[in-house]
Amino acid sequence: MEDSLCHDCGVVATPEHIVLRCKETEEIAKEKRKTLEGREITDVLRNPKDVTVLRELANKIAAYHRMKFLPGGGESRWCLKS
C-alpha cells in the first residue's frame, strides 16, 4: 500500500501526475499545462522560465488540495476511505 491511486483517473498518483496530468485539477491547471504540454519533465527543469511556470502550477494545485482537507473545505475524495 505505498502507492496511492488517484480517485479521478485510476492511476498511481505521482507528483507528476497530480501536477501535470490529473483531470481533477484540469480546470485550474489548464492554462499552465498548455505551456508545458508535450515537454519532457527533464527538459522543463533545465529551463528557468519553465521551472517558474511549473512551480506556480504546483503551488496552485497544492493550495487546491490543501483547501479540500480543511473542515468544510469542499469534497473529501482525497481523504482515506476505509
**Residue numbers at the binding site for Zn ion (CB under 5 A):** 6, 8-9, 22
**32 to 3, 50, 56, 66, 70: CA distances (angstroms):** 26, 10, 8, 20, 25
Q: Which is nearer to Zn ion, 24 or 54 (CB)?
A: 24
Q: CB of 6: closest distance to Zn ion in angstroms?
A: 3
Q: CB of 67: closest distance to Zn ion in angstroms?
A: 17
Q: How far apart are CA 61 and CA 26, in angstroms?
A: 10
Q: CB of 64: closest distance to Zn ion in angstroms?
A: 12
